[in-house]
Amino acid sequence: MIKFIIPALIFFIIVLFWSKINELIYQNFKIKLNYVILTIIFIFIMIISFLLYN
């Protein structure tokens, strides 16, 4: 059951604090996160699917 709760909790925290995370990264690195976030979301979905089928 923990393997379902931890990814859901991480996803919820990212969604909840997305504006603060986005501003912080833009201030520090001066880059937009479109491609980086798409890659992270893809990897996150792959991890969840791996956890569900193992």
Distance CA 19, CA 47 (A): 24
* Amino acid at position 11, single letter: F
pLDDT tens track for 10-25:
889 988 988 888 888 8
Report domain extents, the chain. Answer: 2-52
Q: pLDDT averaged over the chain?
A: 84
Helices (H) and strands (E) in the chain, counts: 3, 0
pTM above 0.75, yes or no: no
